[in-house]
Structure 1
Amino acid sequence: MSSAPASVQAPPTAADATALCCGEVSNPGKLLDRVIDSMHVDDRWQPHVHIEWATGLQDQPSGSSGPDRATHCSSFTAALGLKLDVYMLRPPEHSQQLLASAQGEWFRSPGGVQAGWTSVPTAAEAQTLSNAGKLVVVVYESPEPRRPGHVAIVRPFPKTNADLAENGVQTAQAGAKNFSSGVARVSFAKHEGAWPNGVRYYVHTIDWQKLIAKWSDQAKKN
């Protein structure tokens, strides 16, 4: 009796759809969750006001004129990197204006690679790495030099195959709408050409042992 060709696969089942795509959230992933929550992005890095990039707190009066008052996705991601002792392109090396696209270019540049950033080929791998407690970003570089791109954090989450296929990775972002837990489909909806094929993923290892020791020392001093 002849067997079916190797390329023929059984159709996905309901069990396949509800299975986790990217593993359980590890202990480092749970710690990353808590750090993301500690940033209070739902209340800080608000759009249409001038903010201090590292804290997300408004630092100029509402209604005042000048640059850096649109949205603050790239400042939020850079601030989380600062909290985790992970460098990415940020002020003062680059202004807050059009920073997201500049970060996207930087992640894949020799400077970004030298700083420890690595490209991630798929959404499933990006979510898996985040669940393992690594810092993962998802970024869209605008093809138009004067139009902003967008960047978000990939948040640890026990995501199913069906959810990943429909909504993409779990995200935390500042933008036109800030949220600490959402999905990539929503994060990039306002950027034509971004979702789903225009985004890219990058990862950096977090030295949790060093961070925990640092935070412990700071707590003792306080």
Structure 2
Amino acid sequence: MNITKLGRGQASAIAFALGLGACASDPPQAALPSITVSQSGPCCGPVTAAGRHLLQVIVDSDVEHLWLYRRHIDWKTGIPDMPEEWHGRDSETHCSAYIAGMSVRLGVYLMRPPRHGLNLLANAQGEWLDSSAGRRAGWHRVESLEQVQYLANQGWFVVGVYVNPDPKQGGHIVIVRPSDTATVDRLKAHGPQVAEASYHNHINWSAKGSFAREHYADVHYYAHDVPGTVDSRL
């Protein structure tokens, strides 16, 4: 578009809009911590004190008994808040509600109610994580499974997410567990160990087992550092 051919008012409006766009550009992100991968034995460094705290928060979530399939739940706690026979809206699987509840416990923002309803929230979370808004909020996309495991061991909040290309169908999201026994071969074969809410909830499950076989290749990982002092209680 040639601004010189526009009226003064139109040109000013376009210049103002371009200025807003420049202001809204992503700030540079700090580089992720570097990692030296061991090809024999455990690959991705020891579990630090922060990693042990993260693991305890995951274990304390008691996800195998909360955020249960076909129960209407409080998204922060996973506690059922409707009678067992009630099967209305938001009473199916709760992967995204579980991860949203974990984000509150870890003091890290991730898209959650009330900004977005529970219906199809995993898709919205995945799209947000991969957006400029997610990056401005401190989330990093992580490309290698070794880096995924290393960051979890360091106590970072790391999630794996599949966004369903069908906007009417749900995606899936999990949290990565710290592990000082993961190897390169195991990560390649099974992915990292994760916790999830799904049709059957798991406190310790492989990423490859968590996602449908045809979806696993399209799972992406994102990481956010956790504040130094966090409380596993609500």
Per the normalisation by structure 2, the TM-score is 0.79
SS of corresponding position for 1:76: helix
Q: Residue 188 of structure 2 corresponds to which residue in structure 1?
A: 165
* Identical residues among aligned pairs (%): 39
Deviations 1:123-177 (A, max 9, x none): 2111110011100000000011111100000110120122111110110111111
Q: Residue 222 of structure 2 corresponds to which residue in structure 1?
A: 202
Aligned length: 196
Q: Residue 117 of structure 2 corresponds to which residue in structure 1?
A: 95
Q: Residue 51 of structure 1 corresponds to which residue in structure 2?
A: 73
The letter of the residue matching 1:134 is: W
Please, which moves more after superposition, 83-92 or 159-168? 159-168
Q: Residue 165 of structure 2 corresponds to which residue in structure 1?
A: 143
Q: Residue 211 of structure 1 corresponds to which residue in structure 2?
A: 230
Q: Is the 8 A contact 1:86 1:204 kept in 2?
A: yes
Map 1:168-187 → 2, pairs under 5 A: 168-187=191-210
Q: Is the 8 A contact 2:161 2:221 kept in 1?
A: yes
Q: Is the 8 A contact 1:123 1:168 kept in 2?
A: yes
| Separation in 1, partners of 2:103, 2:86 | 29
Q: Residue 152 of structure 2 corresponds to which residue in structure 1?
A: 130
Q: Residue 29 of structure 1 corresponds to which residue in structure 2?
A: 51
SS of corresponding position for 1:211: coil
Q: Is 1:188 paired with 2:211?
A: yes
| Separation in 2, partners of 1:64, 1:34 | 32
The letter of the residue matching 2:219 is: V
Q: Is 1:107 paired with 2:126?
A: no
Deviation at residue 193 of structure 1 after TM alignment: 2.9
| Separation in 2, partners of 1:40, 1:137 | 18
Deviation at residue 94 of structure 1 after TM alignment: 0.7
Q: Residue 154 of structure 1 corresponds to which residue in structure 2?
A: 176
Specify every segment of 5 or more residues in structure 2 that has no aligned partner in the other structure, as ranges: 1-37
For the pair shown, which has the larger CA radius of gyration, 1 or 2?
Answer: 2
Q: Is the 8 A contact 2:50 2:154 kept in 1?
A: yes
| Separation in 1, partners of 2:119, 2:141 | 24
